[in-house]
Structure 1
Amino acid sequence: MSNLGTGFDPIGIVIDWLDACRERRLEDLLALYADHATLDCCSGERFVGGSGLLRYWSAKLRGATAAAFELEEILIEQDCIRLDYRDYDGSAVSTKFWFDAEGSITRTLCVPLGRKSARFKAA
């Protein structure tokens, strides 16, 4: 994914997203999403728009463990940014982020990471 000509830094936005999660800043986290964004969760559930994201993130941030939101790795993929990290409950997950032209997150897709993938730590 290239940010040439877009006027925003997708990796920077993902770092802001992770920081907002880590610091339990719900309003800042929600502000990173587009109005009609979708969040596809590891559980198979889909959350859509502001009300769906609020419902999802309120519970996750409230129930976050001490090991939550630890960075493992950030990768640039062909059409998105992939973040490997520790989820709210400390489990290893990978979330892909897609953006609109203004730099708002339009979609996230989360999948569990296997043990082999989780061993690669960010420097």
Structure 2
Amino acid sequence: MTNISYDPMAIAVDWLDAYRAGDLEAIMELHSEDAVVHCGCCGVQTITGREAVRAYWIDRLRKCPAGTLDDLNPSDDRTVIRYVTDAGVMSAVLAFDAAGRIKVLDCSPLY
């Protein structure tokens, strides 16, 4: 594992906690200013730009709230987190910038 100044697992848990709580502002604080979301949950889409990411989360919080943690696995500058939703188990890969903010979120359902 590389020498990093943040805890990727803690950030992933904070992200899931904020998602479960429906806390849009906390979710946005965890994302970098130039975060990119690749979502395969309802067709493949790529969301870029701060306002587009905010709009994505507003919609996501309303349509697909997160439930319990299913699994959590770190690897270098990424963490894979699986969680339960009404639609089934989802997988999210969180990649971080040097400050420990989410730079790339890649999510999709587990089949």
- Tell me whether the two structures share a fold, i.e. TM-score over 0.5: yes
Change (3 A) 1:3 1:70: farther
* Distance in 2 (alpha carbons) for counterparts of 1:62 and 1:7: 33
How many residues were matched structurally? 109
The match for 1:121 is none
* Distance in 2 (alpha carbons) for counterparts of 1:23 and 1:90: 18
1:48 aligns with 2:45: no
Measure how far apart 1:63 and its partner are.
2.7
The 8 Å contact of residues 73 and 80 in structure 2, kept in 1 or not, is answered as yes
- Structure-to-structure mapping, 1:7-22, within 5 angstroms: 7-22=5-20
Amino acid at match of 2:24: L
Whose RCO is larger (CA < 8 A, sep 6+)?
2
The match for 1:32 is 30
* Distance in 1 (alpha carbons) for counterparts of 2:51 and 2:5: 28
The match for 1:117 is none
5+ long unaligned stretches in structure 2: none
Amino acid at match of 1:106: K
Aligned to 2:67, the other structure's residue is in SS state: coil
Amino acid at match of 2:26: D
* Distance in 2 (alpha carbons) for counterparts of 1:8 and 1:77: 13
**Bigger radius of gyration:** 1
**Identical residues among aligned pairs (%):** 30
Measure how far apart 1:44 and its partner are.
0.6
TM-score normalised by L of structure 2 = 0.88
Measure how far apart 1:62 and its partner are.
2.0
Structure with more strand by fraction:
2
* Distance in 1 (alpha carbons) for counterparts of 2:55 and 2:73: 28
The match for 1:82 is 80
The match for 1:100 is 97
Measure how far apart 1:59 and its partner are.
1.1
TM-score normalised by L of structure 1 = 0.80
